[in-house]
Amino acid sequence: MSLTKWMKKMVVVLFVIMSMCGCATEDKMDAKLRDLEFTVVAEEEQPEALVEVIEQKKSSSFQISYTLGEDLYLAIGYGEQQTGGFSISVDELYETENNIVVNTTLLGPSADEQVVQGITYPYIVIKTELLDKDVDFR
């Protein structure tokens, strides 16, 4: 085997090994360390400054993180909807090595449910412990 062919094969092998190492590190950093406890915050209990920001952004989808003291508030909105009857489920809220991950789903009204006809702006605000990590909204 010529030296050139051997070097090309070694480059390919090194590339494969480096690719595998990168994936393992990324997966480890994204791995769940623990679920975080949270409460859904009623509108009248939300911090006034957060309510003002939500009011400005509610016509479009939004994701807001807001800290107050030792608490982290996460607000997720789904923008303008043509009817009422929507709800939002918190599918996941957990800590990874580098982030806080929050995953929510907008649930529409059932086909037989009577809903308010008119524009609505479904959103949810949840409160959890403050950690020195970025929030990854999914």
pLDDT-derived band at 14 (thresholds 50, 70, 90) equals very low
Strand partners, 43: none
- Take residue 36 and report the two structure tokens written for it: 């975080």
pLDDT at 23 over 70: no
Residues 81, 78: Cα–Cα separation, whole Å: 8
Residues 26, 64: Cα–Cα separation, whole Å: 25
CA atoms within 13 A on the CB side of 22: 6
Using one digit for the tens of pLDDT, what is the confidence trace for 98-120? 999 999 999 999 989 999 899 99
Contacts of 60 (CB under 8 A, 6+ apart): 77, 79, 80
Please report the pLDDT score of residue 16 as a whole number. Answer: 46
- For residues 70 and 94, the answer to whether their CB atoms sit within 8 Å is no
Predicted TM-score (pTM) of this structure:
0.79
Of 8 and 104, the structure prediction assigns the larger pLDDT to: 104
Using one digit for the tens of pLDDT, what is the confidence trace for 27-83? 666 899 999 999 999 999 999 999 999 999 999 999 999 999 999 999 999 999 999
